Amino acid sequence: MNTSITGIIPVMLTPFTEEDRIDWGGYEALIEWYLANGAEALFAVCQSSEMLFLSLDERLELARFTAKVVNGRVPVVASGHISDSLDDQRTELSKMAETGVDGVVLVTNRLAAPGAAGTALRAHLDALLAALPADMPLGLYECPAPYRRLLTDDEIAYCAQSGRFALLKDVSCDLETVKRRIALTRGTPLSINNANAAIAWPALQAGAAGFCGVMLNVHPDLYRWLQDHGAEHPDLAEELATFLVLAAMCEPMGYPKLAKIFHQRLGTFEHIDSRAITFDIHERYWALDEIIRQIEQGSERFRSRIRILESAS
């Protein structure tokens, strides 16, 4: 396996029409927005895509459509095995591997029940690996829903040494854990990509292979600058990192519908409908529009400072 899946990797949204169908025109515009704003790979059919609320046919079509539109410009990976049974997961993942994506991502909480011994996860994992093409790059995703199943050091070492895995979307949300995992996988194809905005900058400084958090649906270009140029401009990087952490505090306010409001305001797509968040987030989270406006303005201020910096160099 020679595929490298690193860098700024947005977790993709799924826009819906008022009739609760996938808005394919809006989704294509969203793909182009990610690519124009610094994405180095795309993660389709994930929790942000509302995969738990999509049919298997919808999950497969999202992956197929993404791969077709991207057309090799960046790697596309997709998850989407949400079933409990091993047989159903074999079916889901095998079909996903046939959609044209560049990698298939295994969800760690589908590999063992809560509290199950590590041997159960290993046996389940081996069965899935045997069902997938040997040359298909694989990833691991510590998805928080329906529960967060963090991998142990032994499990990560096993996956790294297998040579089958290119990506771990780390959801430990703990800098010391990220550092330990980076050391543990050094010299293997498995890269550690942090998903937590609060530690994004220090994780990058520690050697994390990019960022894969939900705020890449708001300002991926700023994370890309931080990754690519932050070390050259440490003062601005520290200021930007602080802003990104504070902006990410809006994540619990009805995401992914929250991110869809940002894109509705941008004109990427028309509707903010969500199958995962069915309540009115404006009613529950007071002054939400003002919070969004302040994040937009703060993002533009940093973009302006970056442009001035670039023009002077």
pLDDT in tens, 57-99: 999 999 999 999 999 999 999 998 999 999 999 999 999 999 9
DSSP 212-246: --GGGGT-HHHHHHHHHHGGGSHHHHHHHHHHHHH
* Per-domain residue ranges of the chain: 7-312
The pLDDT, as a whole number, for residue 119 is 85
Cβ–Cβ < 8 Å for 193, 219: no
pLDDT (mean) for 11-23? 98
* Cα separation, 107 vs 46, whole angstroms: 9
DSSP 27-48: HHHHHHHHHHTT-SSEEESSTT
Model-level pTM? 0.96
Question: Largest Cα–Cα distance in the chain?
Answer: 59
Per-residue pLDDT at 298 exceeds 90:
yes
Q: Give the three-class secondary structure for 175.
A: helix
For residue 26, which of 67, 51, 57, 62 has the smallest C-alpha distance? 62
For residue 170, which of 188, 189, 191 has the smallest C-alpha distance? 191
Q: Which class is domain 7-312?
A: alpha beta
Percent of the chain with pLDDT over 90: 94
Per-residue pLDDT at 220 exceeds 80:
yes
- Residue that the structure tokens 């498995």 belong to: 190
Residue 179's pLDDT band, with cuts at 50, 70 and 90, is very high
- Give the chain's mean pLDDT: 96
Cβ burial, residue 19 (10 Å; 0-12/13-18/19+): exposed
